Amino acid sequence: MNIHLGADLKDRWAAYCSNLGKTPGAAIKEAIEQQLEKAERFPPVKTYRQTREVADAEPKVRFEILLTQSEKAAVLERSNLERCSQRRWIVDAIRAGLTNEPQFGMTEIDALGESNYQLLSIGRNLNQIARKLNEGHREPVAVELIEGLRTIIDKHTDIVSAAIRASLERWNIE
């Protein structure tokens, strides 16, 4: 195994190992063994992922939970803050825990939608500028830069749109 640490990090590592009375190689081996032992004792929890949209017509499975009064009050408060039903808030919390992906509240969805709207507007203006530059055959570098910006904006709006859809629509979890 070869590890490039750079001069400073290598010197600091060697000094650290020397203080422990170990060679750098022996200390790395011990660290790897500790990590593997920890992984065996505490295997990673499976992270689920959203794989496809679930049709609204697909039947839902009933699941009942009991909450304390304070938990119920907290869920009500959070759902009101996020402008959604308590049921929706609980489903979003479960989905966020299963997938490690954000489940946006209506405030965030509104902000993301506005972000996409503004970026699309900028993109349209960039297209108009690029078209004018192309017609006059002016500075090809400027045209290339504008087209590059448009590509970045398109990619951003696609990502934001997908995030909004993932939060608003139910997807299969696998």
Q: Residue 34: what pLDDT?
A: 93
81 and 167: one domain?
Answer: yes
Q: Is the same domain home to 90 and 17?
A: no
Residue 27 sits in the same domain as residue 104: no
Report how many domains make up the chain: 2
Q: Which of these, 93, 95, 105, lies nearest to 48 by C-alpha position? A: 95
Global pTM reads 0.50
Instruction: Clarify whether residues 77 and 14 are in a common domain.
Output: no
- Give a yes or no: residue 150 inside a domain: yes
Q: Quote the pLDDT of residue 66.
A: 94
* Beta-carbon-side half-sphere exposure of residue 82 (alpha carbons within 13 Å): 22
Query: CA 94, CA 90: separation in Å to the nearest integer?
Result: 6
pLDDT at 67: 92
Q: What does the pLDDT profile of the chain (174 residues) look like in tens digits?
A: 888 889 999 999 999 999 999 999 999 999 999 999 988 888 888 888 877 666 567 788 899 999 999 999 999 998 998 888 999 899 888 988 888 877 777 777 888 888 888 888 888 877 777 777 777 766 656 677 777 788 888 888 887 777 777 666 655 555
What was the pLDDT predicted at 167? 65
Tokens for 8, please give them.
């400073």
| Helix/strand/coil for 101 | coil
Contact 67, 75 (CB under 8 A): yes
Q: What pLDDT does 116 receive?
A: 83
Tell me, yes or no, whether 140 and 60 share the same domain: yes
d(CA 157, CA 7): 43
DSSP assignment string, 27-95: HHHHHHHHHHHHHHHSPPPPPP-EEEEPPTTSPPPP------HHHHHHHHHHHHHTTS-HHHHHHHHHH
| Nearest CA among 12, 44, 17 for reference residue 31 | 17
Q: Residue 28 is part of which domain span?
A: 7-41
- Predicted pLDDT at 54: 66
Residue type, 108: E
Do 29 and 85 fall within a single domain? no
